[in-house]
A = this chain, B = another copy of it.
Amino acid sequence: MKINDNYLRLKESYLFSIIARKVTEYKGANPGKEVVSLGIGDVTLPLAPVVVEAMQNAVLEMGKAETFRGYAPEQGYSFLRKTIAAYYAAKGVELSEGEVFVSDGAKSDLGNILDIFSTENTVLIPDPVYPVYVDTNIMAGRNIVYLDGSEANNFLPLPDWNIKADIIYLCSPNNPTGAVYSMEQLAEWVAYAREHNSVILFDSAYEAFIQDKALPTSIYQIDGARECAIEFCSLSKTAGFTGIRCGYTVVPMDLVRGGTPLNKLWLRRQTTKFNGVAYIVQRGAEAVFTPEGLRQTKASVEYYMENARMIAETLTDLGIWFTGGKNSPYIWLKCPGGLSSWEFFDMLLEKCGIVGTPGAGFGRNGEGFFRLTAFGSRENVIRAMERLESGQPW
């Protein structure tokens, strides 16, 4: 019996446990002072009323013999896949129902999709990055090449045509940097992927935060993407579904590698290792895409975006360099005074009682940077920005 010893090569992440410990220590040492967190990566506003109503009705249906439903289709109910296809159609992207896969979230699919690819493939991952892209590939023993995000490229790295990668991760709007690729930049990635026969895994989990109509909210808005990209999205941030668990993955019929349509491989993976998403959850997700649902969830997104705007405005006043905040709930700032990520974390906590996330926790290129999020309450954001404006400790 051998275990998968690739697991032994994984680095333990102590990022959030260290943050928690430091906050606890600070509170212990400063009983009077109240700490404001701008480090939250989770939504805080409740579910939209239309979603609550839809799920309430679905629960009742499951309690009656006439309307009870057993196993759901592994790929998702047709009513939801049609609705998602219509959501894409509204942004100019034509999808067939069979190209949409409903899942329990983008995180699951981003990890599980690797099952259909050879472990011999080389993976290209931007740095800084959502750590899951890296860890899921280390678990499979794949060779990973990193792509440098930096102040110089506004944390929107473009392809290096001299490097050949088989699987490419792109996340736009980006976590942690909040940076968003333009149509032209994504077009360059699509051209690179088609030239190298690579597959782009496009994480669009934050697409609902894009305000600028000129920016792409789906990679399929780029010609040729259907032949080289799989898109992962989720209702977690769009509709506050982090605790409801519903996402969707698009695998176009035109995406063929080694003579095999990847849609067929993913369908086989899902029908073999997955049993579909709860009917109740799928009815809740369907409600998100109704006109009223879109209105209600948009209101929550706008609430978060006003938080982001206030944070961005303050940083601009203070002359601090940052990305994000305009089309993303994340603000990625350059630590002032040449401080390291953790030095800035300590100073911000000590002097302003503000908690954020050290950029160094997201990869080598995150050192010297810092992530703030817009998911807190308005009151906390106002309080935090006042402390920053006045207290500027650096």
CB-CB under 8 A from A55, the residues of chain B are 59, 280
A56 at the interface (CB under 8 A from B): yes
Query: Which parts of A44-77 form the interface with B (CB within 8 Å)?
Result: 44-47, 49, 51-52, 55-56, 59-60, 62-65, 68-72
**One of A90-98, A116-124, A344-352 contacting the partner:** A116-124
Q: A3 contacts B118, CB within 8 Å? A: yes
> In the complex, A105→B276 CA distance in Å?
10
> In the complex, A17→B166 CA distance in Å?
36
A221 at the interface (CB under 8 A from B): no
Q: A1 contacts B199, CB within 8 Å? A: yes
CB-CB under 8 A from A243, the residues of chain B are 62, 68-72, 278-279
Q: A62 contacts B42, CB within 8 Å? A: no
CB-CB under 8 A from A60, the residues of chain B are 52, 56
Q: Contact residue range for chain A? A: 35 or more
**One of A26-34, A131-139, A209-217 contacting the partner:** A131-139
CB-CB under 8 A from A260, the residues of chain B are 3, 7-8
Q: A52 contacts B45, CB within 8 Å? A: no
User: How many copies of this chain does the complex contain?
Assistant: 2
Residue picked from A107, A243, A281, most chain B C-beta under 10 Å = A243
Return the CB mask of A147-176 against B: 1 if under 8 Å, else 0: 000000000000000000011000000000
Q: B46 contacts A2, CB within 8 Å? A: no
Q: A139 contacts B269, CB within 8 Å? A: yes
Contacting A7 at CB < 8 Å: which of B1, B7, B116, B198?
B116
CB-nearest residue of chain B to A245: B278
CB-nearest residue of chain B to A284: B59
Return the CB mask of A319-339 against B: 1 if under 8 Å, else 0: 000000000000000000000
Q: How far is the CB of A117 from chain B (nearest CB, A)?
A: 6
Given known pairs A7-B116, A56-B59, A278-B244, the reply for A273 and B107 (CB within 8 Å) is yes
Q: A277 contacts B46, CB within 8 Å? A: no
CB-CB under 8 A from A44, the residues of chain B are 65, 68, 70
CB-CB under 8 A from A207, the residues of chain B are none
A sample of 25 cross-chain residue pairs with beta-carbon separation below 8 angstroms, ordered by A number, consists of A1-B167, A2-B117, A3-B258, A4-B265, A5-B258, A7-B265, A7-B269, A10-B268, A46-B62, A46-B63, A46-B64, A47-B62, A52-B59, A59-B59, A59-B280, A70-B243, A104-B274, A107-B275, A108-B274, A112-B273, A132-B272, A139-B269, A244-B279, A245-B275, A281-B281
Q: Which residues does A use to contact B, with CB under 8 Å?
A: 1-5, 7-8, 10, 42-47, 49, 51-52, 55-56, 59-60, 62-65, 68-72, 104-105, 107-108, 111-112, 115-121, 132, 135-136, 139, 166-167, 197-199, 240, 242-245, 257-258, 260, 262, 265, 268-269, 272-281
For the complex with contacts A69-B243, A136-B273, 19 further pairs of A-B residues with Cβ separation under 8 Å are: A1-B198, A3-B117, A5-B118, A7-B116, A7-B268, A44-B65, A45-B65, A46-B68, A47-B62, A52-B59, A62-B243, A70-B242, A70-B243, A104-B245, A243-B278, A244-B278, A245-B277, A245-B278, A278-B281
